């Protein structure tokens, strides 16, 4: 059973994801409480039915140092769905400095974009405007949710209110 449970901090901000058995254990040990349960699944034993947790909340506040998403080639590809942000291909991907380095463009989330080799060389030492190339989306600093989705495979409906809360905190 590959289902995942969203773990909330004591202040209801999203903290992490865990397996269903781990969530049960935390609730059983009275370290966490059930916040939301699945309406389509339940766990059955011979004589009892337990709700299947989808969101739990820790009783104690966990202090986390701010952890941004690391700026790496793979993470930029991931943010851009492994597609060239100019033509949309998934082949021959490279990183493009939207504002070229030679024009003072920085190496950061806001200036790096996934581009295929062809688009990258076509763009050359120009900005997208100068090269008359349209970006599918502007580069941005990804938030927690982008990577959470990747990690768990899907985002449960019941997680959404808590995830948007976390988004604001960033
Ligand atoms: Zn391209």
pTM given for the model? 0.56
Distances (CA, A) of 29 to 23, 26, 159: 10, 5, 23
Residues with CB under 5 A from ligand 1 (ion): 84, 86-87, 116, 119
pLDDT in tens, 6-39: 889 898 888 888 888 899 999 999 999 999 998 8
Distances (CA, A) of 168 to 50, 61, 97, 101, 108: 33, 19, 28, 31, 21
Q: CA 52 from chain center: how many Å?
A: 24
pLDDT in tens, 76-91: 998 898 999 999 999 9
The H-or-E segment that residue 18 falls in is: strand 14-19
Q: For residue 159, how far is its CA from the centre of ligand 1 (angstroms)?
A: 35
């Amino acid at each position: 059973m590959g289902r995942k449970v969203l773990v909330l901090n004591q202040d209801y901000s999203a903290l992490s994801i865990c397996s269903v058995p781990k969530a049960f254990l935390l609730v059983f040990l009275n370290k966490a409480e059930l916040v939301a349960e699945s309406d389509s699944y339940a766990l059955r034993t011979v004589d009892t039915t337990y709700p299947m947790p989808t969101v739990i909340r820790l009783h104690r506040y966990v202090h986390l140092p701010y952890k941004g998403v690391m700026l790496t080639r793979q993470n930029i590809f991931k943010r851009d769905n492994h597609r060239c942000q100019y033509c949309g291909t998934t082949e021959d991907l490279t990183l493009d400095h939207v504002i070229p380095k030679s024009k003072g463009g920085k190496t950061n989330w806001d200036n790096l974009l996934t581009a295929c080799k062809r688009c990258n060389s076509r763009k050359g030492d120009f900005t997208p405007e100068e090269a008359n190339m349209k970006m599918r989306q502007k580069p941005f600093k990804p938030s927690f949710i982008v990577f959470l989705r990747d990690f768990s495979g899907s985002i449960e409906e019941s997680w959404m209110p808590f995830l948007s809360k976390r988004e604001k905190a960033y």
